Amino acid sequence: MTDLVHLQHRDSLLKRLARIEGQVRGIQAMITRGDGCESVAQQFSAARKALDKAYQEMLMCLAEEAIFAPDQSNQEKLAQVRAIFTKYS
């Protein structure tokens, strides 16, 4: 993979994580204020979904690295992708 692709993945993940961090800080503020449980639960759900999307993006990065590895056969690439998804999902 090129450095540009790695940079794009990195930048995208960092942006997602910054948004998630903001969501978590918002949840902390809601709890501190004593907001209702349903409102807090909705924000927890949104933060979890955002974290799941960031995680999926990271898994795709791992899969792309395996797929585009120039020194491996297709069988080896497939085995590595399967191992990634077995280990991390």
What is the share, in percent, of the chain residues with pLDDT greater than 70? 94
Q: Is 83 a residue whose pLDDT tops 70?
A: yes
Q: Taking the model in full, what pTM does it have?
A: 0.76
Average pLDDT over residues 67-71: 87
pLDDT at 48: 96
Instruction: Report d(CA 5, CA 16) in Å as an integer.
Output: 17
Residue 65 burial (10 A CB sphere; 0-12, 13-18, 19+): middle
pLDDT at 68: 86
Q: Is 87 a residue whose pLDDT tops 70?
A: yes
For residue 83, give the nearest of 70, 65, 71 by alpha carbon: 65
Residue with the two structure tokens 């395996």? 66
